[in-house]
Amino acid sequence: MSPSRKILWAPNPSFLEAGKSTIKVLADGRFSVWHRKGVTMSWMGPREDAENAFKVRLSLRTALGDKAYAWDTNEEYLFKAMVAFSMRRVPNREGTEISHVLLCNVTQRVSFWFVVTDPSRNHTLPAVEVQSAIRLPLVAVSGGCSSLRMNRNRINNAFFLNDQTLEFLRIPATLAPPTDPSVPIWIIIFGVIFCIVIVATMLLILSGIRQHRRKNKGPSEMEDTEDKWENTVKIENGIPCDPLDMKGGHVNDAFVTEDERLTPL
Amino acid sequence: MDEARPLWATPLQFVFACISYAVGLGNVWRFPYLCQMYGGGSFLVPYIIMLTVEGMPLLYLELAVGQRMRQGSIGAWRTINPYLSGVGVASVVVSFFLSMYYNVINAWAFWYLFHSFQDPLPWSVCPLNGNRTGYDEECEKASSTQYFWYRKTLNISPSIQESGAVQWEPALCLILAWLLVYLCILRGTESTGKVVYFTALLPYCVLIVYLVRGLTLHGATNGLAYMFTPKSGIPTRGSPALSLLAFQMEQLANPKAWINAATQIFFSLGLGFGSLIAFASYNEPSNNCQKHAVIVSIINSSTSIFASVVTFSIYGFKATFNYESCLNKVILLLTNSFDLEDGFLTVSNLEEVKSYLASAYPSKYSEVFPQIKNCSLESELETAVQGTGLAFIVYTEAIKNMEVSQLWSVLYFFMLLMLGIGSMLGNTAAILTPLTDSKVISSYLPKEAISGLVCLVSCAIGLVFTMEAGNYWFDIFNDYAATLPLLLIVLVEAAAVCYLYGLRRFESDLKAMTGHALNWYWKAMWGGVSPLLIISLFVFYLSDYIITGTLQYQAWDASQGQLVTKDYPPYALAIIGLLVASSTMCIPLGALGTFIVRRLKRRDTASVA
């Protein structure tokens, strides 16, 4: 972290024009400007201007690993270009140039501050405008907000980064809008399984009832035929026949014949 | 007219039924916890000893009684001795309580299973708060998995007094769970016999898949090592191996380890509920139930050990993941506060850089310092839990960090469901078999109607557990409905068979039935060792309850995002007492009832004569 520079009065704010200077925001809201050659000057800008500066933080190593590129002045130029591009899409700001975007206090992290000045370079543009230009919604909006996030996505893509690795601080984080489907998924699956179980239960119960009915019919039918058989036998012969010969099931014929066939040991 | 008793189609179905009943959720979420509490490897010694001395003999006893008497628990004990019909009734009452609250776990498993088909998993992200400026407060204080369990699933109230309303979502899942159980038991052994193939085998498939996945996870070895290493308080002097051995020896001398091993074996096998008697009553009389008893108990214990290896590798993964995220957060914090180069701070140089920063920029460092968390792998591992907390909070936290987490989540909750349904089949069999055996009831209603009624009544009462305070009532039932009564029931069972019925008589019955002679080992265990063990367990628990005085429970405090301990209100204590009394009192009341009936009969015959 660089120690605070000695503060001098700037003779002319037009020094900012050439793009050779960068602005540092001090804790009490004053700006200090220092030239690349090491000369420092300060400009007591209005306090509001300090509030219009944004801190940006990039995490190149985290995002890209070995493919991380070095952050140099060319990258800074690209960043200024992206911010200027975003500003141009704001109504009344179509004339924003790259030189209107000022970066300062670039650290090793990589992090820096930037402000966007108006064409006259007298004051900085309000934070709200810059925010809306980069399309950082203050409040999460549900549903697709692709058009709103377009500029932010383009800035991210220019650097191969995403919202987590290219952070604009001092701005409340955009929380991912919750995606609520109209019918919760779990109810659908529940409904399917519920119906399957009910259908299977009904099938089992019905087949059980049918089996019961068949069993109830079965013995009663058998009893009828047996009675008929008995009656016919009695009627036909007049003499009650030996029940053992007539009634099936009381004697296992297989065993009877076996005993007769096999010679006893 | 008596139709033949329904039988299992093959002896394999009987074995699978016993396995799917015995291997339940306790194997997955209680044993790993005990294993870790009492020193990992050294816990296996009391566990295996208790298995051979207490588990196998009592399991064999129950199976033999059921197979010999060929009736449910009420009929079986009445046949052994008419004064013991109360034992059977007590078993049925305890099984009824158990099935009421156990199926709620299946309902929760269904709930999580249905929610596993989303991307991202609902318990992996916190929902936004009302005005969408941040995450929900309760979720921030606790974790997203705890929030999903306590708020979205249970919608738990701050205390047991505030019952709240019935939550319709868990209620729907409970109804579905009961419908599924009804479907499985509808036709008796015919349907149960086919279902147990799935409920016994599928959990093993999932466990094997999880074992392979768990062992290949990053950080799994941390968890496994933790299971076997000494806990804090043991100075590691000399070689680590020696101190490990010393610790394990020390744990062997700890009576709590032995008591917990005995308790775990006892409840894991599901003794005393009457389910085993019911299952065995559907056996062919010549079935070799001794072999089956040994097989089932060994499989049950091996599953516990197997499941704890899986659980600990998952623990290790979760703890390592959390530890590394914590470190990454600290790194990010320092990198951003001091504008260091991105990627400069790594895990290896973190400590040196911290001390450098503290000395170089003391003021700024002291500003940042309060936000720097002390990350510790040990403290992450120490969040060992048991019960529903393990299954629904810790495991889900580990699953959400795996790749293809939806698949793992579906597999895991499907396995929990299989385990739970398998145990429910046994529980309902314990209730239904005595009811269908009773001539009075079965002459009025067919089997399907009796099953339906039992399921309906249990479901209706079980809706209590879906209220906002339902989880507190669940804990009451889980802790008190079965523990003491079961010990008493099994004690009376063992004593009755050995001393009332007569060990010799039982031995000759078994010999006539199965054709094998009874080994002296079983006689020794039944007659002496096992009852003594149960008596000591019973005395221990009773004295523990008495000494502790007021019973307390863990309530979820939404404002703090953590559990707090509270006392039970008087009416809850009364209900606990009622739960325990309603089952234990059946035993003396049954004996008294039989005594009175006999007296009246004698008086009648005397007056007639």
- Write down the mean pLDDT value for chain B: 88
Question: Are residues B302 and B206 in contact, defined by beta-carbon separation less than 8 angstroms?
Answer: no
Does B149 have pLDDT greater than 80? yes
Rounded Cα distance between B522 and B375, Å, is 53
Q: How far apart are CA A238 and CA B230, in angstroms?
A: 96
Helix (H, G, I), strand (E, B) or coil at A58: strand
- Helix ranges (DSSP H) in A89-184: 127-133, 146-158
DSSP symbol at B19: H
Residues in chain A, pLDDT under 50: 1-20, 27-30, 33-48, 136-148, 173, 230-231, 233-234, 243-244, 246-247, 258-259
Estimate the share of chain B in helix, then strand, then coil, as percent rounded to the nearest 5: 75, 5, 20
Closest chain A residue by Cα to residue B112? A186
Q: Which of B28, B144, B40 is nearest to B381 (CA)?
A: B40
Give the pLDDT band (50/70/90) at residue B238.
Answer: low
Contacts of A187 in chain B (CB under 8 A): 114
How far is residue B349 CA from its own chain's centroid?
A: 45
**Are the beta carbons of B340 and A109 separated by less than 8 Å?**
yes
Query: Which pTM was predicted?
Result: 0.79
Q: Which residue has the tokens 């008793």?
A: B5
Asked if A107 has any chain B CB less than 8 Å from its own CB, the reply is yes
Which of these, B52, B77, B67, lies nearest to B522 by C-alpha position? B52
What mean pLDDT do residues B316-328 have?
90
B525 vs B422: CA distance, rounded Å: 29
Q: Enumerate the residues of chain A whose CB falls inside 8 A of the CB of residue B334.
A: none
Q: Do A57 and B336 touch (CB under 8 A)?
A: yes
- Token duo for residue A23: 């602005």
Yes or no, beta carbons of B117 and A186 under 8 Å apart: yes
Q: Which positions ≥6 away from A228 have C-beta within 8 Å?
A: none
- The whole-angstrom separation of Cα B570 and Cα B568 is 6
pLDDT tens, position by position, B170-222: 999 999 999 999 999 988 888 899 999 999 999 999 999 999 999 999 989 98
CB contacts of B345 in chain A (<8 Å) are none
CA–CA separation, A117 and A31 (whole Å): 13
> Does A175 sit within 8 Å of B133, measured CB to CB?
yes
Write down the pLDDT at residue B201: 94
CA distance A63 to chain B (A): 10
Range picked from A111-120, B368-377, B501-510 for highest mean pLDDT: B501-510
Yes or no, beta carbons of A175 and B191 under 8 Å apart = no
Q: Rounded to the nearest 5°, which phi and psi values hold at A57? A: -130, 130
What is the distance between the alpha carbons of residues A218 and A210, in angstroms, rounded to a whole number?
Answer: 12
Distance between CA B597 and CA B609 in Å, rounded?
A: 18
B275: its two tokens: 């389910």
Residue B334 has pLDDT above 50, yes or no: yes
pLDDT at residue B394 tops 90: no
Q: Do A197 and B180 touch (CB under 8 A)?
A: yes
Asked if the Cβ–Cβ distance from B448 to A205 is below 8 Å, we say: yes
| B338-366: b (≥16 Cβ within 10 Å) or e | bbbebeebeeeeeeebbeebeeeeeeebe
Distant-in-sequence contacts of B226-229, Cβ < 8 A, 24+ apart: B226/B36, B226/B312, B226/B315, B226/B316, B226/B319, B226/B381, B227/B35, B227/B36, B227/B40, B227/B41, B227/B308, B227/B312, B228/B39, B228/B40, B228/B41, B229/B40
Q: What is the gyration radius of the CA atoms in chain A, in angstroms?
A: 46
Q: A195 CA to chain B: closest CA distance, Å?
A: 10
Residue of A61, A107, A167, A190 to mutate, testing the B interface (most B Cβ within 10 Å of its Cβ): A190
Say whether A143 sits in a helix, a strand or coil: coil
Least confident of A114-128, A214-228, B97-111, B271-285: A214-228
CB contact under 8 A, A208 and B111: no
**pLDDT, position A127:** 75
How many of the other CB atoms lie within 10 Å of CB of B155? 17
* Nearest CA distance, B167 vs chain A (angstrom): 15
What is the four-CA torsion angle of B96, B101, B102, B103, rounded to 10 degrees?
100
pLDDT score of A160 = 85
What's residue A40's pLDDT?
39
Give the contacts of B470 (CB within 8 A, at least 6 positions apart). B104, B154, B167, B170, B464
Q: Which amino acid is at B587?
A: I
Contact B132 A109 (CB under 8 A): no
For a pLDDT cut of 70, what percent of chain B falls above it? 96
Least confident of A197-206, B156-165, B227-236, B239-248: B227-236
| Residue scoring higher pLDDT (B229 or A92) | A92
Residue with tokens 């704010």: A13
The conformation of residue B132, written as its DSSP 8-state character, comes to S
SS3 B128: strand
Q: What is the torsional sign of CA B548, B553, B557, B561?
A: positive
How far is residue A208's CA from residue A199's CA, in Å, rounded to a whole number?
Answer: 14
The reply to whether A190 touches chain B by the CB within 8 Å rule is yes
Region of A143 on the Ramachandran plot (φ > 0 left; ψ -120 to 50 alpha; else beta)? left
Pairing of strands A111-116, A166-168: unpaired
Query: What confidence tier does B273 reach under pLDDT thresholds 50, 70, 90?
Result: very high
Answer whether B179 sits within 8 Å of A61, measured CB to CB. no
In this predicted structure, what is the pLDDT of residue B599? 92
Nearest CB among A59, A200, A201 relative to B342 is that of A59
The answer to whether B183 contacts A111, with C-beta atoms less than 8 Å apart, is no
Q: In which region does residue A160 sit, left (phi positive, over 0), alpha (psi from -120 to 50) or beta (all else)?
A: left
- Say which amino acid occupies A185: I
Give, to the nearest 10 degrees, the angle between helix B405-437 and helix B85-115. 160
Q: What CA–CA distance (Å, rounded) separates A223 from A228?
A: 9
Comparing B245-259, B286-300, B432-446, which segment has the lowest mean pLDDT? B245-259
pLDDT tens-digit map of B154-168: 999 998 888 888 999
Give the residue from B185, B244, B199 showing the smallest Cα distance to B24: B199
Please give the pLDDT value at position B127.
Answer: 84
Nearest-angstrom CA–CA distance, B311 and B318 = 10
DSSP B217-282: STTHHHHHHHHHS--TT----S-HHHHHHHHHHHHHT-HHHHHHHHHHHHHHTTTTSSHHHHHHHT
Chain B residue set in contact with A, beta carbons under 8 Å:
110-111, 114-115, 117-118, 127-128, 132-135, 172-173, 176, 179-180, 182-183, 186-187, 191, 335-336, 338-343, 361, 446, 448
Q: How confident is the model at residue A250, as a pLDDT?
A: 55
- Reported as a pLDDT band with limits 50, 70 and 90, residue B477 is very high
Collapsing DSSP to helix, strand or coil, A160 comes out as coil
- Judged by a CB distance cut-off of 8 A, whether residue A186 touches chain B is yes
Q: CA–CA separation, B42 vs B65, rounded Å?
A: 34
Interface test with A, best of B116, B144, B182, B183 (most A CBs within 10 A): B183
Do B179 and A108 lie within an 8 Å CB cutoff?
A: no
Q: How many contacts does A have with B, using Cβ atoms within 8 A?
A: 80
